[in-house]
Amino acid sequence: MPLKVRKNHSPKPPPSCPLTECMGIIGGAWTVNVIWSLRAGPRRFSELRVDIPPVSPKVLTARLRELEARGVVTREVKPTSPPSVEYALTDLGAELVPAIEAIVEVGHKLKGAPDALVANG
Amino acid sequence: MPLKVRKNHSPKPPPSCPLTECMGIIGGAWTVNVIWSLRAGPRRFSELRVDIPPVSPKVLTARLRELEARGVVTREVKPTSPPSVEYALTDLGAELVPAIEAIVEVGHKLKGAPDALVANG
DNA sequence: TATTCAGGTTTCCGCCTGGTAACCTGGGGT
DNA sequence: ACCCCAGGTTACCAGGCGGAAACCTGAATA
């Protein structure tokens, strides 16, 4: 038996790099899509699910909670029946929108074929 | 025995979303750091390793190959001895720099504590 | 002959991430 | 009495993704 050492041994080397730190957030699956979806105004949980069909409720919840904890989005429960929950970008979150716009822009121009590797002399 | 189905079954559902597609690239570990490191001019493999100490050669190679295949960086072998290899951003790659700048900007302002989650009623 | 140096490649292995599916809560409608 | 809806939560599970370490090539240098 090889003795598994838990990796939570020390509190973790600080990223100390704002780039790495921020990528730790927006790097999660569907995170940028959520922010993108919120750029035009507040949106409810189930609306986000429609905007981003492949996201599962589990992951969507996880992303929204992370973004809320980091101050990127707000969460507001409306006392309707059934209660609905609105998510919106904070000012901080709004700062990410131009970044994501640039990413989308590049996305449009990307060559889609990783197979192009083999074809070039 | 539960019958493992290979996932390469069909050529893959097209991302069809430029955002998701582009995140597929820059989402890889250290990718943004590489682009960030190249923003001020061309850089050799071992210089990048110095710029980004925690990156392993395996991963650095993988990232550079991907970025090259997608037209984000160029790779040029200089016939010195030993031969050195210079990587540089393409025009397309340069488009990502402002995006990454915005990400860095947000990174500076992020609250660092995910543990803040538990403390709230 | 051995070493160094650049720029990788290869193998192995563990973790974390994300997908799937089932379940939950509470009020309102019929 | 029952179901539905919103907005989740939970348990389980696979595999991809990245870290670590060892190895490789060819020319120049000691």
Higher pLDDT, A75 or B121: A75
Instruction: State the pLDDT at residue B13.
Output: 45
A103 touching B (Cβ < 8 Å): yes
pLDDT tens readout for residues B44-69: 999 999 999 999 999 999 999 999 99
Mean pLDDT of chain B: 84
pLDDT at residue B105 tops 50: yes
Instruction: State the pLDDT at residue A121.
Output: 24
Domains along chain A? 20-108 (1.10.10.10)
A61 touching B (Cβ < 8 Å): no
B50 touching A (Cβ < 8 Å): no
Query: Between chains, do B17 and A33 touch, taking CB under 8 Å as contact?
Result: yes
CB atoms within 10 A of CB B56: 11
B107: chain A residues, CB-CB within 8 Å: 17-23
Instruction: State the pLDDT at residue B46.
Output: 97
Q: What is the mean pLDDT of residues B78-94?
A: 95
A107: chain B residues, CB-CB within 8 Å: 17-23
User: Which residues does strand C reach (CB under 7 angstroms)?
Assistant: A 2, 4-8, 28-30, 54-59, 62, 81-82; B 44-47, 57-58, 61, 64-65, 75, 82-86
Round to a whole number and report the distance in Å from the CA of B54 to the C1' of C13. 19
By the 8 A CB rule, do B25 and B31 touch?
yes
Query: Residue B64, class by beta-carbon neighbours within 10 Å (0-12 exposed, 13-18 middle, 19+ buried)?
Result: buried
